[in-house]
Amino acid sequence: MTSGSDIAIIGGGIGGYVAALRARQLGARVVLIERDRIGGVCLNWGCIPTKTLLRSAEVLQLARGAATYGVVVGDVALDWEKAQKRKEQVVRRLTGGVKTLLERAEVEVLAGTARFVSPSMLEVATDTGMLQVQAGQFVIATGSRPASLPIPGLSGEGVLSSDDVVELDHLPGSVVIIGAGPIGVEFATLFQACGVQVTLVEILPRVLPMLDDDLGSQVERGLKKMKIDLHTASRVIALEEQGDLQTVSVETPSGQTSIQVERVLLAVGRRPNVEDIGLEAAGVRAEKEGIQVDEHMRTSAQHIFAVGDVTGGPLLAHVALQEGVVAAETALGLERVMRYDAVPSCVFSWPEVATVGLSEEQAAKQGYDLRVGRFPFRANGKALAHGDYDGLVKVVADAEYGQVLGVHIVGPHASDLIQEATMALTLEATLDEFEATIHPHPTLTEALAEAALAAQGRALHI
């Protein structure tokens, strides 16, 4: 059986399904092939389930600290089973919504595993047999999977991936998390808040090593405040399963130590799913980092595009979404370019982190003469009223023209606040324009204006 379409999309995650919806808006006939769950990692295992569980942990912490706000409550405990049921409800609602959008847009959805057999043909293995799908254009959106490490003993049953954690039926009493990037830090926050004793191991000198140094330092203090056992400049060298426990050998700056825990979580990033999709037959070049694309998301084959994690670019759902739009529009003859100079990135730790643009270190390496402004949330009225005032806003700007090069936030609602900064970078805003923008009072957004003023040496409230 052969299905003819204008565009065939492999993968129904956020990059793939958005590409399908945009292509249908432009009048194309679209077939979308998904081997597992519509919504991909983001909706089923990543962004949505983790943030839903983190919200349960946040409510637990608020209830425990209610007396600080003059609110009297009784004994407080977490019902993990109910938290998981709520997470499933949220996931079902969102994935169901995406399915409805695809149906309403009249996107043909096939459940199966697709593989190129030629530059213009896919074979799709379904439960009912093999189908052939022919199309004029293709979008590869096969996503990524949790990465692994060559550590002896890492394949035991007590070792979890980030995908496994959101489906746990009960919480372990203790866990070692390998990797203190965004995934590791978020799960460390979740577990510790829920009463699990967490040990976090990072091979580099500090947590969140890819972020501006001020942000990583603040988050590190927050993790220690939560009583997470933190080992930086350290690495796990072996695991040994002993009954229901895992013995984890860690090489630290002060020597080797062993830690016994119930579970180990490997959180060292993700790898693109480039295997077994017939890239050679399609004439698409790929490196181990992912499929190489141009600014239009076009691969080495002019009629084939790739979006999302499979390209090895920023592993962010909102990036995949935008790439899906760019690929669909380019495939259908519009002139659209993907920009990466103003991509926000968030880490939902406590305190929360969000960043966009260049860090101070990156800007200095690029030769900019800099103005840098910092404003602490403890000087912000709304943060004090909420009782959540750890952290700061940092603005990095070009000294000559005042153009804002980067904004870095660690503190309450950082992921919401970063959008103003993202818009500012997209529009090439200056410090003067931040200052001229009236910010409502009392709000956390005032901290952005004050940080911009601080970069000019005239903050009003510090």
Among candidate residues 372, 341, 354, 370, the one with its CA nearest the CA of residue 414: 354
DSSP state string for 3-56: EEEEEEEE--BHHHHHHHHHHHHTT--EEEEESS-TBHHHHHTSHHHHHHHHHH
- Retrieve residue 386's tokens: 């909420």
Residue 238 φ/ψ, nearest 5 degrees? -165, 155
Cβ pair 377, 385 in contact under 8 A: no
Catalytic residue among 303, 386, 441, 461: 441
H or E, element range at 374: strand 370-376
Length reported for the chain = 462
72 Cβ contact list (under 8 Å, min separation 6)? 66
Backbone torsions φ then ψ of 390, nearest 5 degrees: -75, 135
Measured CA angle at 129 (ends 125, 133), to 5 deg: 55
Tokens encoding 340? 């990466």
The total of other beta-carbon atoms located within 10 Å of residue 69's CB is 9
Asked whether 308 and 11 are in contact (CB, 8 A), the reply is yes
First to last CA, the chain: 70
170 part of the active site: no
- Residues that are catalytic: 441
